[in-house]
């Protein structure tokens, strides 16, 4: 692992970052009533969606590029350290139950490995070499996408991940919360959501973390919409792995078809619990094997399968 950066030069660098700026007007925040602090924090958070909105064209362009590659079998890989890394792992972990993706299809890498989800791993975020090793373990191919996530936009692990992925021919996206960041510069698609100084100086799990979560939500959700993982705004690829999700599956089939409970139970049973297949059997009047075949031939897109079946 490389030796630490010169503390003085790193301090100077941090002082130039918007996310690290000190706000003297908040120096007495600890003396305020709790309700006033809550109002201040809520007011700070309210500006985050507007900052994200300024970057919607860049987000949309990144989504289209990611979806194009994932449609060919590529993977979506998030790479970050600390809060940024945890948010990537969170977004990746929510894709299988929400969109029935294979766990290997959307991957979250955090500097320091799983242990870093709950504790700090000393020096991990400062290592570009560690990022390269983590990506090499995945055996990247050109159809994969690596999204480096870093509030500062300078974290070596995130920057190193994007640089290495790009050298291997993979698509790269850099998500940061400062302008002119090294991360966005290194990536083909740079997304810089500038939310301004934090309520607590340097605590980028606050506004910066919220902005990153919003953008990651968009990247994964809209990509999955483009891949046919939804029918309208219904999660038709939901994986019914618990009672709540099984109930949700039945409700989604009902909303899509208007069928009776008995029809829905019969269709889901014939479809092995797969919501898309059940909808297709009800709307198009086909049996389970035919529904499976039509969906396979349509690349998993329910609308396309319904059009072929005349539903």
For the annotated catalytic residues, the residue numbers are: 94, 125
Check: CB of residue 216 under 8 Å from CB of residue 191.
Answer: no
Rounded Cα distance between 49 and 55, Å, is 10
Structure tokens at 31: 């003396």
Structure tokens at 96: 């299988």
Reference 198, options 51, 58, 90, 57; nearest CA is 51
List the alpha helices (DSSP H) in the chain: 7-15, 34-45, 48-53, 56-70, 82-99, 128-138, 156-167, 182-186, 207-226, 243-257, 261-270, 275-284, 288-297, 302-309
| CB count in 10 Å sphere of residue 102 | 9
Structure tokens at 281: 């059997």
Reference 157, options 85, 66, 62, 83; nearest CA is 85
Structure tokens at 126: 């400062």
With the C-alpha atoms ordered 18, 215, 189, 165, is the resulting torsion angle positive or negative?
positive
């Amino acid at each position: 692992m490389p030796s630490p950066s010169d503390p003085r030069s790193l301090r100077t660098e941090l002082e130039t970052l918007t996310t690290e700026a000190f706000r003297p007007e908040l120096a007495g925040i600890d003396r305020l009533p709790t309700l006033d602090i809550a109002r201040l924090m809520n007011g700070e958070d309210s500006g985050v969606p507007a900052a994200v909105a300024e970057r919607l064209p860049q987000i949309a362009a990144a989504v289209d590029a990611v979806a194009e590659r994932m449609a060919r079998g590529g993977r979506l890989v998030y790479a970050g350290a600390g809060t940024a890394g945890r948010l990537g792992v969170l977004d990746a972990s929510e894709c299988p139950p929400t969109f029935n993706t294979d766990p290997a299809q959307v991957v979250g890498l955090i500097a320091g490995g799983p242990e870093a989800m709950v504790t700090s791993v000393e020096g991990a975020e400062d290592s570009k070499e560690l990022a390269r090793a983590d990506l090499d373990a995945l055996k990247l191919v050109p159809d994969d996408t690596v999204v480096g996530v870093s509030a500062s936009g300078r974290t070596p692990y995130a920057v190193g991940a994007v640089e290495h992925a790009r050298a291997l021919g993979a698509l790269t996206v850099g998500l940061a919360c400062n302008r002119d960041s090294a991360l966005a510069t290194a990536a083909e698609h740079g997304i810089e959501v500038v939310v301004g100084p934090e309520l607590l100086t340097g605590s980028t799990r606050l506004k910066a973390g919220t902005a990153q979560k919003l953008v990651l939500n968009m990247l994964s959700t809209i990509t999955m919409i483009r891949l046919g993982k939804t029918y309208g705004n219904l999660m038709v690829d939901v994986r019914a792995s618990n009672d709540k999700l099984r109930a949700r599956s039945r409700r989604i089939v009902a909303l899509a078809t208007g069928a009776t409970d008995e029809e829905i139970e019969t269709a889901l049973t014939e479809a092995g619990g797969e919501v898309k297949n059940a909808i297709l059997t009800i709307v198009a009047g086909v049996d389970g094997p035919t529904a499976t075949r039509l969906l396979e031939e349509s690349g998993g897109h329910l609308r396309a399968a319904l059009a072929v079946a005349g539903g």
